[in-house]
Chains A and B, each alone.
Chain A
Amino acid sequence: MSFGFLKSGKFLLTAGLLLVLAQGLLELPELQDYFFPKKYLEFNLDLAKLEFWKIEKNLESLKARVSYLQWFLAHRSPEDNISKDWLLRFPFSESLRWLSPKIFWHLNIYALKRTRIGLERKLKYLNALINDIKINTKSKLSHNNADYLTDSSGVNISQIIQNFDQLWASYNQELKTLTPKSILLENLD
């Protein structure tokens, strides 16, 4: 092993560890609040955005699965061929339907329940997170801290929170609409 490699290896290892050390230090709540007072708020805003994105995907999936199972109930004769549309949407389930309708049904009902309850949970958690963001922003703004009016990209934080509230209400409503349809199918299991 050459001396140069050893030297650069030592340098890289130490630099990597120092980088982790520095990043960790800056993320300690006490230091983070001192040096980057808005960072935690922005982190939570990003987290909420990510959760909304996940909820949207799961709602789409729930809606599609409900339609798929309703379609299955309407066309469940054994001579039905594989549906091209559903094969693209649910490749595993559609292949399984042709091989074993019983296992197909159980697995899909399980997935349906899991998605529905996962969505209920996520919406409840997200509501708590949005309330948390609201309380934090309100308390900071009450101390005349103008930094909290906008996020780092210049968008008004109150506007973001308002959008979150609207989005949450619409997703919650959508879930409420889908729940009875889903339960109807689940009860057939």
Chain B
Amino acid sequence: MDPLTYLISPALKVMNHSLNRINRLLSPIAIIVAVGAFLLLFGLDNRPFWQDEAETACLARNVLKYGVPRAYDGVNIISQEQGHEYDQNFLWRWSPWLQIYVTAAAFRLGGLTTYAGRLPFALLGLACIILVYQLVRHNFGDRPWALISAALLTSSVPFLLYARQCRYYSLGALLTLISLYAFMDDWQKRFLSALLLCFSIVLLFYTNYLLFFSFVVPALLAAFLLYPQYFYLRKFLLIMVLTLCFIFPGMLLYKIKQQSAIINPSVIPGNFENYVGGLFQYLIPLPIALYLLWRWRRILWTRSALPAEPGERFILFLSLTIVGNVFLLTLIPQCEHRYLVHLYPLCAIILGWVVCAAWRYYKVSGVLLGVLLLFTNWLYLVPMDWLHITNRSVLNDRQMLTYPNLPLKLFLTELGSGYPDVTYNLIRFFQTHAHPGEVILITYDDLPLQFYTPFKVLGGLQGNIKLDQPPDWMVLRWYTRWNRAYQLNESERLIQEILATTPGYAPVVLPFEDQVFGNNPDPYEHRFIPAENPLPPVVIYKKLASR
């Protein structure tokens, strides 16, 4: 070796290592993950838990106390379904326990704080972004497609809102992605992939069984149609039997039979309209759905029209799974956008593929499409507005996701400027004004008050409210709530009755709006910026003789 080369080469090697490290740090996926981490983790506790999150948090707190999710902690009862969620021992039997135990573990490590409760789910949301990239890269070797898909998921504000909740949403999305990853990873030959497939599906059941039924059935049918070569009968039957064995105890525990009795055929058309509307308004823009439909139109009558290119075949598989998922969800009486959250990563993969196809077709259109999908919600809403089919409540205002906007700008404004959250204001009021041993009766947001204050809190959507004496505080919220059977909630009826018959209550009008929900992530409801003209203020009734 030339003496000069001999002298220089170690130094060059060191430089190469450093450059490689910098390259890795500045690689597009590292930047996307860093942006995702910021969007998911920054200001995670800016707003307190809202009602549904507080349900999980209160149950998790009881897990730390009793080892199992109990609906009663000796002071308060956790219920949003008129007491149907628990048995005679107050054991929670309404929804699966995985999210409750994840939250309990976070509380054990980080204390009973909002940040600790939301952190594991935000991290799982981040894992979704990484897995979307890895799923596409690993199976199809298409780096631009993988990057665009990951970037689209990172910039999806509804997904970010749901992933920042102390609820199962990001967990469901991650398990959906893991099951797809394992399925595409030669599960019929590799034992570990088969095991991963089985356990991801089982855990999906224990995350939320609605997601399990609505995802697994259409995914299986779509896989039979598009990937028949992946099904080795013996291995498939083995996984199916194993999965059924694992979910069987859960089917008995979670009162599934009792809940299936509330299926109501008359709500199916309305649900279908809402889910399809939600799909086009937030997950897949209508023009792109129509383009895909047109592209695959011949599949309906000839099997030979099935796409041969592996990437496109996978996109068709995901699309069929999503369509089947929506159809199955319409059968379930409670129609909520949250049941579509596990489909956001799948839609990001589809949209990533469409952007790449547009780029290959004509670069200008590829860039335009990418910009529209990454930074705006215009491709979702503007065509729907043209057709007058946009779904928005009368109470929505322009600074919400139901109107054409720059969603990330709204999201960052909320992160930077905060929001005068109604739940926060209620918590603060009672923390500073109520005294130990006092009783609060409220028509909504009873569960956040149970979590953040030491008082006995009754009301909300509980039924059978037992009062020994008139409560010290009452809050009749502006928005009236009825139960599933369209009866006025017990708490509403009770407060109206007490106010009409019992003297000695003085109204305290608080200087903030009585917003319908606090930090509800539903894109139809979430407010990032206070409304231009707020709703009426919160009115709290105080029992004058209480002190």
Asked whether any CB of chain A lies closer than 8 Å to the CB of B398, the reply is yes
The answer to whether B379 touches A128 (Cβ under 8 A) is no
Asked whether any CB of chain A lies closer than 8 Å to the CB of B535, the reply is yes
The answer to whether B532 touches A132 (Cβ under 8 A) is yes
Residues of A within 8 A of B533 (CB): 131-132, 135-136
Q: Which of B358, B364, B383, B406 contacts A20 (CB 8 A)?
A: B383
Residues of A within 8 A of B154 (CB): none
Asked whether any CB of chain B lies closer than 8 Å to the CB of A176, the reply is no
Within 450-465 of B, Cβ neighbours of A (below 8 Å) are at none
Residues of B within 8 A of A120 (CB): 480
Secondary structure class of chain A's binding surface, majority of residues: helix
Interface size class of B (residues with CB under 8 A): 35 or more
| B488 closest partner in A (C-beta) | A117
| B270 closest partner in A (C-beta) | A114
Chain B 331-370 near chain A by CB (<8 Å), digits 1 or 0: 0000000000000000000000000001001101100110
| A14 closest partner in B (C-beta) | B365
| A116 closest partner in B (C-beta) | B486
Asked whether any CB of chain A lies closer than 8 Å to the CB of B42, the reply is no
Interface size class of A (residues with CB under 8 A): 35 or more
Residues of A within 8 A of B365 (CB): 10, 13-14, 17
CA distance A110 to B486 in the complex (A): 8
**Residues of B bordering A, CB below 8 Å:** 264, 266, 287, 358, 361-362, 364-365, 368-369, 371-372, 376, 378-379, 381-383, 393-395, 398-399, 403-406, 479-480, 482, 485-487, 532-533, 535
CA distance A9 to B482 in the complex (A): 52
CA distance A117 to B535 in the complex (A): 20
Asked whether any CB of chain B lies closer than 8 Å to the CB of A124, the reply is yes
Q: Which of B361, B369, B393 contacts A10 (CB 8 A)?
A: B361
The answer to whether A47 touches B403 (Cβ under 8 A) is no
CA distance A13 to B264 in the complex (A): 43
With A107-B266, A124-B480 as known contacts, state yes or no: A14 contacts B362, CB within 8 Å: yes
CA distance A14 to B358 in the complex (A): 10
Residues of A within 8 A of B398 (CB): 29, 32, 40
Asked whether any CB of chain B lies closer than 8 Å to the CB of A77, the reply is no
CA distance A110 to B382 in the complex (A): 36
| B395 closest partner in A (C-beta) | A125
Measured between C-beta atoms, what is the minimum distance from A175 to chain B in Å? 14
CA distance A135 to B265 in the complex (A): 42
Asked whether any CB of chain B lies closer than 8 Å to the CB of A122, the reply is yes
Measured between C-beta atoms, what is the minimum distance from A95 to chain B in Å? 15
Asked whether any CB of chain B lies closer than 8 Å to the CB of A24, the reply is yes
Residues of A within 8 A of B482 (CB): 117
| B287 closest partner in A (C-beta) | A16
Residues of B within 8 A of A14 (CB): 362, 364-365, 368
Measured between C-beta atoms, what is the minimum distance from B5 to chain A in Å? 53
CA distance A152 to B144 in the complex (A): 48
Asked whether any CB of chain B lies closer than 8 Å to the CB of A111, the reply is yes
The answer to whether A128 touches B406 (Cβ under 8 A) is no
CA distance A5 to B8 in the complex (A): 59
Q: Which of A28, A51, A131 contacts B405 (CB 8 A)?
A: A28
Residues of B within 8 A of A16 (CB): 287
Residues of B within 8 A of A28 (CB): 404-406
| A11 closest partner in B (C-beta) | B362
**Central interface residue in A27, A47, A111, A121, by most chain B CB within 10 Å:** A27
**Central interface residue in B361, B398, B399, by most chain A CB within 10 Å:** B398
Asked whether any CB of chain B lies closer than 8 Å to the CB of A59, the reply is no
Within 4-48 of A, Cβ neighbours of B (below 8 Å) are at 9-10, 13-14, 16-18, 20-21, 23-24, 27-29, 32, 40, 47
Residues of A within 8 A of B266 (CB): 107, 110-111
Residues of A within 8 A of B368 (CB): 14, 17-18, 21
CA distance A114 to B361 in the complex (A): 50
Residues of A within 8 A of B287 (CB): 16
